[in-house]
């Protein structure tokens, strides 16, 4: 079974630009979560989607948004990039509709804002 796939792996953007990251979950998984990882703040929850609906959102500004498609693939978008948005963005997928269960992570997208 293929794992969680994130594209692209690496990205360099300029301040003020916007970026879209993609995540394909494990086949059959309908929940997709996004996390930001930085050396200073660690791993922080961005949002979670299930059946194309955002069910939960972390404490990030509105510049961070996401969506999920009917095939469970998800994208996240960051608009008006700031230097502080440089981070590893991780996507995780899991099976359960309700309740928590193990989330499997992708390799991440390393975003550098210059």
Partner 1 sequence: GESVGLHLPTLSVQEGDNSIINCAYSNSASDYFIWYKQESGKGPQFIIDIRSNMDKRQGQRVTVLLNKTVKHLSLQIAATQPGDSAVYFCAEASGGYNKLIFGAGTRLAVHP
- Binds partner 1 by CB under 8 A, chosen from 14, 28, 102, 114: 102
39 binds partner 1 (CB under 8 A): yes
Q: Give the Cα separation of 108 and 64 in Å (integer).
A: 16
Per DSSP (E only), the strands in the chain are 5-7, 10-13, 19-24, 31-38, 42-50, 53-57, 64-68, 74-78, 87-94, 104-105, 109-113
22 binds partner 1 (CB under 8 A): no
Of 82-101, binders to partner 1 (CB under 8 A) are 88, 90, 92, 94, 96, 98-101
Binding interface with partner 1 (CB under 8 A): 4, 6, 31, 33, 35, 37, 39, 42-45, 48, 50, 55-56, 58, 88, 90, 92, 94, 96, 98-108, 110
């Amino acid at each position: 079974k293929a794992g969680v796939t994130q594209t692209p792996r690496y990205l360099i953007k300029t301040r003020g630009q916007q970026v879209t990251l993609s995540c394909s979950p494990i086949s059959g998984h309908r929940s997709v979560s996004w996390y930001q990882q930085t050396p200073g703040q660690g791993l922080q929850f961005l949002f979670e989607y299930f059946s194309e609906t955002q069910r939960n959102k972390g404490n990030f500004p509105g510049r961070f948004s996401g969506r999920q498609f009917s095939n469970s693939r998800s994208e996240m978008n960051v608009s008006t990039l700031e230097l502080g948005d440089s981070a590893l963005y991780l996507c995780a997928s899991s099976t359960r509709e309700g309740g928590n269960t193990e989330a499997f992570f992708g390799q991440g997208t390393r975003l550098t804002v210059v």
